[in-house]
Amino acid sequence: MQHFTKKFLLMTLFYAITGGASAFTITIDGDDGTPGENVRSSNCQQSNEESFTSDSGGTFYTTEESYSGGKSLELNITKGSLGFGQLGGIINFPDCAHVGGKRLVKGDEIWVRLRIKFPSGFEFNQNGRNKFLRLRTFHLDGATKVSEGYNDLYIDGPPGTELWKPGGYAPFQFIFEGAQKWYRINSDFFTMGKWNTIEYHLRLDDKTGPEGGNSMVRVWLNGNLIGETDERRTLQRADSFIESLYLFTYWDNEGAHISQKLWIDDLKITTDTPLTKDLNGNPFIGPGDPPPCPPKFGLDNQLEETECK
């Protein structure tokens, strides 16, 4: 509880100094989580940090793998499962009221950064792309929320993936379903069997740069800018809004071919413009420090001393 209180006081002080009271930051690293416990809480608070608010039935705290802190989140997909409700999870921002979570509107920006590790031999979707980082967008019709779809960052798969996709292979692709125009991100792919850091940034606007608007999509992999465009809308209308992040949550319509797992660590979502900048001067959360020597946990989940080898 002391860790959580200190974090709250630091955030309060930061907002008071910077005037960023309308911004919010959500972090999930699992360091205080109980291994084997499901990562989900309807009020977004669990184990002295934030959590998924729904649809994370196959996501658990674990000591099996970790980028830092000795723990991470294990994400599972079961053979035959379509993935929804199991793989990854949803964070509904307004449910994270304790950190000021709210809907995002035109003019707002959001950064999502996480560490991710796929085991060597991980089988990506054989029937299409993998939905990955997805920001769901709505507008109101009276009092009724109308979905515009997602600002979707997809994983196409590693090099050698079938070239059935329009335009051929690209490791990652972006689309806002409310505008239906793909953006191909040609870059290196994740290094399998190792931790990778990926970051996704949106500036919200119903008009692109060429249309006189201010929309922006950026993606970084391991600190390198791999995708940037102002030629894609990120909202359908001027009064549209985003209120949740979907991490994976869905495999495909036919179900996973095999049961498997992957890990994430240091998930950070912020609407507060980061102070760190990339080589081009763009603000981003950034990759931070390289992973330290991983701590080792005994059978009773107690931290053991360990040395890097």
pLDDT at 14 over 60: no
Query: Residue 302 has what pLDDT?
Result: 64
Q: What is the pTM of this model?
A: 0.88
Q: Which of 8-17, 127-136, 213-222 has the highest mean pLDDT?
A: 213-222
- 268 pLDDT above the threshold of 60: yes
> Residue 156: its pLDDT value, please?
87
Asked whether the predicted pLDDT for residue 4 surpasses 70, the reply is: no
95 DSSP 8-state letter: G
Q: What domains lie within the chain, and their CATH numbers?
A: 2-290 (2.60.120.560)
What's the whole-number mean pLDDT along residues 146-172? 81
CB 249 within 8 A of CB 90: yes
Q: What is the pLDDT of residue 7?
A: 46
How many Å apart are CA 184 and CA 181, to the nearest integer?
10
- pLDDT given for residue 46 in this prediction: 98
Kindly state the average pLDDT of the residues 135-153.
97
pLDDT of residue 300: 65
Tokens read off for 5? 């209180």
Res 161: pLDDT: 67
Q: What is the predicted pLDDT for the residue at 296?
A: 62
Instruction: Flag whether pLDDT at 140 surpasses 60.
Output: yes
Q: What is the DSSP string of 121-146?
A: T----SSSPEEEEEEEEEEEETTEEE
Give the tens place of pLDDT for each residue, 28-55: 999 999 999 999 999 999 999 999 999 9
Phi/psi for 93 (5° steps) reads: -60, -45
Across 63-77, 109-123, 232-246, 248-262, least confident range: 248-262
For residue 285, the SS3 value is: coil
Band of residue 305 on the pLDDT scale cut at 50, 70, 90: low
Mean per-residue pLDDT over the chain, rounded: 89
Using a pLDDT cut of 90, give the percent of the chain over it: 77
3-state helix, strand, coil in the chain (%, to 5): 5, 35, 55
Average of per-residue pLDDT across 85-108: 98
Residue 276 has pLDDT above 50, yes or no: yes
Both ends of the chain: CA-CA distance in Å?
A: 34
Q: What is the pLDDT of residue 159?
A: 77
Rounded Cα–Cα distance for residues 72 and 65 (Å): 6
Of the listed ranges 6-15, 59-68, 168-177, 252-261, the one predicted with least confidence: 6-15
